[in-house]
């Protein structure tokens, strides 16, 4: 089941997909309206200040794996995948939550085992995206995600998995990734100005991005942790931009630095 809605409040366009194939028909029927309600909630929530004019396409897939019932609620075990097209795929299989048809879904406090996980990963999506609009611009959103992970441990309905999520957001905010996150901004800006025909400004940003990339370790250019995949930079796009602004000398240095040509030396100039 796919649910999609244009966001009215704050620059997010989220497509929500429910995979309920592993549940019996009566449980599928019980959840029939939840996907649409969740889609409306995410798309209409005021995530960021109205002064920002930026749209974030997002895809949320929820894979239901198990269920239980009690007199007062239905319980579910599920996995989640949250992705945006700029290089972020977040996957989590450690998710237990309760739901009743009397439940009113909400974002922000109080903590809820269902919606708080979605909020946690949505803030990470915003953080990843805003690093590309401003140097380390995503820090404020990563911090919002960190606070959710920290506070979840003290809630009565605490569900397992939050220790791993707390470690993950701490890793993402770690000092060792500041250079590559800053490089992501300059790479994005360089590509933007290259497409606009402003070669001088593009070259300045691309030079800065390349220097920051080579100042670190190849092992820290991407993160693969707990099934999450974080590609800080679109490497082929960066290489094409360097070619477009005639910065072959910089590209040659990157290729030499990347001995195995894992990232550079792949794009063939037409």
The CATH fold assigned to 177-257 is 1.20.120
Residue 74's contacts (CB-CB under 8 Å, 6 or more residues apart) are: 27, 30, 67, 68, 98, 99, 100
* pLDDT digits 0-9 by tens, 231-266: 999 999 999 999 999 999 999 999 999 888 888 887
Q: What is the pLDDT of residue 117?
A: 95
Would you say residue 135 has pLDDT above 90?
Answer: yes
Q: What phi, psi does 191 have (nearest 5°)?
A: -65, -40
pLDDT band for position 175 (cuts 50, 70, 90): very high
* pLDDT digits 0-9 by tens, 78-127: 999 999 988 899 999 999 998 988 888 999 988 898 999 999 999 999 99
In Å, the largest CA–CA distance within the chain is 69
| Tokens of residue 45, six digits | 């929530």
* Domain boundaries, given as residue ranges, for the chain: 2-173, 177-257
Would you say residue 268 has pLDDT above 80?
Answer: no
What is the share, in percent, of the chain residues with pLDDT greater than 90? 69
For range 164-185, the mean pLDDT: 93
Q: What is the pLDDT of residue 108?
A: 92
Regarding pTM above 0.85, the answer is yes
Rounded to the nearest 10°, the torsion over CA 28, 34, 40, 41 is -140
**How many angstroms separate the CA atoms of 143 and 170, rounded?**
9
| 21 CB neighbour count, 10 Å cutoff | 8
* pLDDT digits 0-9 by tens, 181-210: 999 999 999 999 999 999 999 999 999 999
Q: What is the pLDDT of residue 5?
A: 47
Mean confidence (pLDDT) of the chain: 89
Residue 230's contacts (CB-CB under 8 Å, 6 or more residues apart) are: 87, 88, 89, 128, 172, 222, 223, 224
Would you say residue 51 has pLDDT above 60?
Answer: no
Q: What phi, psi does 101 have (nearest 5°)?
A: -70, -10
65 or 3: whose pLDDT is higher?
65
Instruction: Please check whether residue 66 is in contact with residue 46, taking contact to mean a CB–CB distance below 8 angstroms.
Output: no
Instruction: Please check whether residue 115 is in contact with residue 123, taking contact to mean a CB–CB distance below 8 angstroms.
Output: no
């Amino acid at each position: 089941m796919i649910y999609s809605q244009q966001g009215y409040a704050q620059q997010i366009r989220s497509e929500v997909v429910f995979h309920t194939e592993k549940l019996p028909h009566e449980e599928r029927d019980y959840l029939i309206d939840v996907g649409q309600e969740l889609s409306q909630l995410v798309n209409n929530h005021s995530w960021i200040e109205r002064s920002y004019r930026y749209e974030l396409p997002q895809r949320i897939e929820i894979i239901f794996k198990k269920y239980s019932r009690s007199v007062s609620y239905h319980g579910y075990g599920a996995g989640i995948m949250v992705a945006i097209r700029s290089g972020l795929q977040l996957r989590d299989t450690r998710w237990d939550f309760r739901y009743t048809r009397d439940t009113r879904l909400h974002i922000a406090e109080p903590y809820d085992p269902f919606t708080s996980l979605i909020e946690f990963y949505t803030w990470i999506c915003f953080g990843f995206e805003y690093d590309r609009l401003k140097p380390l611009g995503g820090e404020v959103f990563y911090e919002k995600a960190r606070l959710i992970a920290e506070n979840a441990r003290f809630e009565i309905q605490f569900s397992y998995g939050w220790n791993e999520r707390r470690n993950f957001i701490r890793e993402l905010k770690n000092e060792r990734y500041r250079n590559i996150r800053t490089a992501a901004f300059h790479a994005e800006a360089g590509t933007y100005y290259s497409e606009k025909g402003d070669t001088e400004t593009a070259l300045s940003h691309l030079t800065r991005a390349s220097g920051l990339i080579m100042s670190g370790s190849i092992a820290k250019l991407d993160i693969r942790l707990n099934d999450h995949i974080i590609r800080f930079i679109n490497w082929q796009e960066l290489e094409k931009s360097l070619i477009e602004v005639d910065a072959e000398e910089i590209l040659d240095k990157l290729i030499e630095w990347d001995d195995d040509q894992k990232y550079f030396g792949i794009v063939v100039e037409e």
